[in-house]
Amino acid sequence: MTAVKKVPFHLTNTLTRKKEEFVPSDPPHVGLYVCGPTVYSDVHLGNVRTFTSFDVLYRWLTHIGYNVRYVRNITDVGHLLGDAADGEDRISKGARAEQLEPMEVVQKYTNGFHAVMRLFNNLDPSIEPTATGHLLEQVEMVQRILKSGFAYESNGSVYFDVPKYAEKHGYGGLSGRKIDELLANTRGTEGQDEKRSPLDFAIWKNAEPEHLMKWNSPWGVGFPGWHLECSVMSTKYLGSTFDIHGGGMDLKFPHHECEIAQSVAADGQVPVRYWMHTNMLTVNGRKMSKSEGNGFTPEELISGDHKLLDRGYSPMTVRFFMLQCHYASTLDFSNEALQAAEKGLSRLMAATDLLPNLRPAASSEVDVAALEQRCYDAMNDDLNTPVMIAELFEGVRIINSVNDGKLSLDQEGIDQLSRLFEAMVFDVLGLMREGAGAASDRVLDGLVKEFIHMRAEAKASRDFATSDRIRDRLLELGIQLNDTKEGTTWNKV
């Protein structure tokens, strides 16, 4: 048996816009940082897509033998709502609207976020730091940036001096921006008189009296700039230069650009070796976003209680739907696509469940190793889950054919295929079996078996009217009967 080549992994580094071989700086350790949610409202499906993509990255790196430290933050300090600096941020606004303490808002939506992550079977990160838990470190980073001369204090706030930094180190490399173009496109300059350049961004912001979340600092009462927390927490836990930093495409500029500038200004180190950006989930071709209000919450998705949903879909259907598309492509959400995914997933799972019952042949007509190799190749090629899933469906065909006695597979081949499916379907893609199967509900199983028995008797006496009535009635109740050579089986539909 030829050995399957499980490495090297390649990923598209958005810093270079090229697919590169992934070589960790300190193997087998890998440092992975992903920008987490701002917890001022419910997460929607677009957020879920991003975190699911990185969940698969985390699972894959782990699967091919790396020891991954996965850091994903919780942004629990509100960002200002606009440049107008009216002293209000999203969390404060939410707190006022819901008559809650800001930290109650934070807790509420953090809990909700965790519940959603679990619902979609996303693994917990190794560390989940919060911005409020790292105030001291953020103040210290501001001080280091001030000391390096790339920031200035103005009226109780501290701003990052973008033009000065750009002159020395260059700015905009990640997102492909040029300083002149950025300046030419600057809009809305009112309320920015504290800044020397409209491109400058706050790394510490003076708090208005009505601002709810604020802390003492060397520059007065205020709160940290919103790019700062990621710079602080990523480097604190992963080192001044770490392997992979991920996030949604919409964070590329300015958020990630600013992170790079801050780290270089503060510590003289380029913080990230590989940047990975996931694309957006769209609805009718438009980005799903909180501000557009076109997002579904997971509850609405499962219940189907939303004007754009024909009916509900299970979390695993949605996860599978997402993984049938490459992370770097936009994915358009539609009922038809969801329904297709639902059926495909059910076929994949049905075949997976057949694996333990396959009867081995003396010889094998199938090259399972080749299939396995194609799965590894697909995943190592920039996490190409759609191609890997396509290979899995080749496996489904094999499993069903063997089950039908149309193809022979020896015990070794069955074992190898079982291991492959176990690894890819459950460990790597992170899919789970859903719903009550026959084995999980003894009463139901007993009742259905009794009906199957009655129907068999009716069939034996060629009373097909009765046997069909039993089958049709059960189907109406969501129980599908399947006649096979070995007898009748059932499953929920």
User: Closer CB to RNA, residue 50 or residue 380?
Assistant: 50
Out of 64, 100, 249, 444, point to the residue binding RNA (CB under 7 A): 249
Out of 9, 22, 31, 50, point to the residue binding RNA (CB under 7 A): 50
Binding mask 303-332 toward RNA (x if CB under 7 A, else -) reads ------------------x--xxx--xxxx
User: Closer CB to RNA, residue 135 or residue 199?
Assistant: 199
Identify residues 435-464 at the interface with RNA (CB under 7 A). 459, 464
Using DSSP's 3-state secondary structure scheme, residue 489 falls into strand
Out of 289, 314, 373, 408, point to the residue binding RNA (CB under 7 A): 289
Q: What is the CA radius of gyration of the chain?
A: 27
> Residue 269 CB, nearest distance to RNA (Å)?
23
- Residue 35, classified by CB atoms within 10 Å of its CB into exposed (0-12), middle (13-18) or buried (19+), is buried
> Residue 399 CB, nearest distance to RNA (Å)?
7
Residue pair 90/78 in contact (Cβ under 8 Å)? The answer is yes
Rounded Cα distance, 13 and 11, in Å: 6
Binding mask 157-176 toward RNA (x if CB under 7 A, else -) reads ------------------xx
Residues 6+ apart with CB under 8 A from 230: 33, 35, 73, 255, 259
114 touches RNA (CB under 7 A): no
> Residue 31 CB, nearest distance to RNA (Å)?
19
Give which of 401, 250, 388, 404 is closest to 325, Cα–Cα: 388
Total site size for RNA, rule CB under 7 A? 92
User: Closer CB to RNA, residue 29 or residue 123?
Assistant: 123
Cβ count within 10 A of residue 460: 9
233 touches RNA (CB under 7 A): no
Identify residues 63-92 at the interface with RNA (CB under 7 A). 75, 79-83, 90
2 touches RNA (CB under 7 A): no
List own/partner pairs for 83-90 with CB under 8 A and 24 or more apart.
83/188, 83/190, 83/191, 83/192, 84/190, 84/191, 85/191, 85/205, 85/208, 86/208, 87/207, 87/208, 87/209, 87/210, 87/211, 88/210, 88/211, 89/211, 89/213, 89/223, 90/38, 90/40, 90/41
User: Closer CB to RNA, residue 197 or residue 416?
Assistant: 197
List own/partner pairs for 146-153 with CB under 8 A and 24 or more apart.
148/265, 148/266, 148/268, 150/261, 150/265, 151/203, 151/265, 152/196, 153/219
Identify residues 468-487 at the interface with RNA (CB under 7 A). 468, 471, 480-484
111 touches RNA (CB under 7 A): no
38 touches RNA (CB under 7 A): yes
Structure tokens at 404: 């039908």
Out of 13, 47, 297, 380, point to the residue binding RNA (CB under 7 A): 47
268 touches RNA (CB under 7 A): no
Identify residues 334-393 at the interface with RNA (CB under 7 A). 334, 336-337, 339-341, 343-344, 347, 350, 382, 384, 386-387, 389-390, 393
User: Closer CB to RNA, residue 4 or residue 81?
Assistant: 81
Identify residues 9-28 at the interface with RNA (CB under 7 A). 17
Rounded Cα distance, 282 and 304, in Å: 18
Is omega for the bond preceding 8 within 30 degrees of 0, making it cis? yes
User: Closer CB to RNA, residue 81 or residue 123?
Assistant: 81
